[in-house]
């Protein structure tokens, strides 16, 4: 998670994106498979969320759309809980474990619209075999969200 937080911090320092970072880690080899930051505004593409960027890089690196292929034990570390889009993409990626920093309400508190998500999303993940850990280094992740808001960073999301 510290790598995800540092990637987010560097993204904010460089003015290249929103306050989100993610890392995909192979739990058996401890090898980082992908690091992503939010590039929505910088890349002019609504799908460039940190989780999607990290998962895409990991899939390209492993040569498979299924990160669990070959018996890998794959963890996605994210500085925040997934938005509605990422919530759907994560199970398809082959991730076995999700570790989140900030909560959905922390992200919404600074003005992001995370989309419509089922209240029991983490239970739905568990039923699919994905372990969820919440609030991991939450204070640090929230601090980056608050910094982004204080700096006047663009907030975006689905429109009514």
Domain 2-150 has CATH 3.30.420.40: no
What is the structure's pLDDT at 159? 60
Q: Is the dihedral of CA 44, 147, 158, 90 positive or negative?
A: positive
pLDDT tens, 105-129? 999 999 999 999 999 999 999 999 9
Which residues are catalytically annotated?
A: 51
* Helix and strand element counts for the chain (H, E): 7, 5
CA distance 36 to 53: 5
Kindly report, residue by residue over 42-54, the tens digit of the pLDDT: 999 999 999 999 9
Query: What's this model's pTM, rounded to 2 decimal places?
Result: 0.95
Cα–Cα separations (whole angstroms), residue 118 to 48, 88, 122: 22, 11, 9
């Amino acid at each position: 998670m510290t790598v995800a937080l540092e990637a987010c911090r560097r993204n904010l320092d460089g003015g290249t994106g929103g306050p989100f970072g993610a890392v995909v880690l192979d739990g058996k080899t401890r090898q980082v498979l992908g690091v992503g930051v939010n590039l929505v505004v910088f890349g002019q593409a609504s799908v460039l969320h940190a989780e999607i960027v990290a998962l895409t890089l990991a899939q390209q690196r492993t040569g498979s759309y299924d990160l669990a292929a070959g018996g890998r034990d794959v963890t996605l570390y994210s500085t925040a809980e997934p938005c509605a889009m990422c919530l759907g993409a994560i199970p398809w990626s082959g991730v076995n474990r999700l570790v989140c920093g900030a909560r959905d309400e922390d992200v919404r508190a600074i003005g992001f619209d995370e989309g419509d998500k089922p209240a029991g999303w983490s239970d739905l993940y568990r039923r699919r075999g994905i372990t969820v850990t919440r609030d991991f280094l939450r204070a640090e992740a929230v601090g980056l969200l608050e910094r982004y808001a204080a700096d006047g960073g663009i907030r975006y999301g689905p429109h009514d």
